[in-house]
Amino acid sequence: MVDIKNLYLSLVGGAGLVNILRGVDLAVSDGETISILGPSGAGKTTLLMALSGLERPTSGSVRVAGIELTGLDEDGLARFRRAHIGIVFQSFHLVPSMTAQENVALPLEFAGVENAYSLAMTALEETGLGARLKHFPGELSGGEQQRVALARAFVARPSLLLADEPTGNLDRETGRMVMDLLFDMQREHGTTLVLVTHDEALASRCHRSVYMLDGQLREQAGAVA
């Protein structure tokens, strides 16, 4: 599902050039779940951005679902994302002026799907929010907002789900409930999952963990030393 080879990614910020990813190799099989651990600033979010085509590599190769992302233009990348990628963030990134149902329907509408609203309703029912369709994000608890974000991420049946500290803004109990739901949906749909987290217990629920440090990956086993 994922095949990253010798990925370098540098960005020019206010303070000059920053070499964020420095020779990353990563292969993830279809249906596999993998967690990425590592300290703040290591480059974890940037790696997810490269996987979703939201940041362009400086060099190297990023293949997702058999598609070489470095060969796509902006339209091609947008089409690729709609067809293959679901994303869940730490802060839920819902549109505040849209109801739960409208938020979930949004990616389907972008993709030109006709019954977007009924599919969104089904997806929200799947996350236990069938009674909250018409609520705005501000009228939902943190855990409920993240469940809306999960429904939105899964609604178009992505082959690859990218999750960036999805429980970082939730208390422990709510976070566990959200992750139970995420793994349930992942299993049910056979979705490949790349999960960035600081939580080792959460990471251990994945098939495999890797550790990122200074823009490079290593297998978790040798990382703690």
Asked if 35 is part of the footprint of Mg ion (rule: CB under 5 A), the reply reads no
Closest distance to ligand ATP from the beta carbon of 131 (Å): 34
Asked if 43 is part of the footprint of ligand ATP (rule: CB under 6 A), the reply reads yes
Asked if 45 is part of the footprint of Mg ion (rule: CB under 5 A), the reply reads yes
Classify 210 as helix, strand or coil: strand
Q: Please choose, from the candidates 36, 8, 10, the residue with its C-alpha nearest in 3D space to the C-alpha of residue 22.
A: 8
Q: What is the distance of C-alpha 126 from the center of its chain?
A: 19
Beta strands in 29-166, from DSSP E residues, in sequence order: 33-37, 59-64, 67-68, 85-88, 160-164
Q: Please choose, from the candidates 74, 13, 50, 22, the residue with its C-alpha nearest in 3D space to the C-alpha of residue 162.
A: 50
Amino acid at 91: S
Which listed option, Mg ion, ligand ATP, none, makes contact with residue 53 (CB within 5 to 8 Å by class)?
none
Burial of 134 (0-12, 13-18, 19+ CB in 10 A): exposed
Site for ligand ATP (CB under 6 A): which residue of 33, 35, 45, 186? 45
Q: Which is nearer to Mg ion, 45 or 159 (CB)?
A: 45
Per-residue contact flags (x/-) with ligand ATP for residues 4 to 33, judged by CB under 6 A: -------x-x----x-x-------------
Closest distance to ligand ATP from the beta carbon of 37 (Å): 10
Q: Which is nearer to ligand ATP, 46 or 127 (CB)?
A: 46
- Residue 26: which H helix or E strand, with range? strand 16-28
Q: Which is nearer to ligand ATP, 124 or 194 (CB)?
A: 194
Closest distance to ligand ATP from the beta carbon of 40 (Å): 3
Residues that bind ligand ATP (CB under 6 A): 11, 13, 18, 20, 40-46
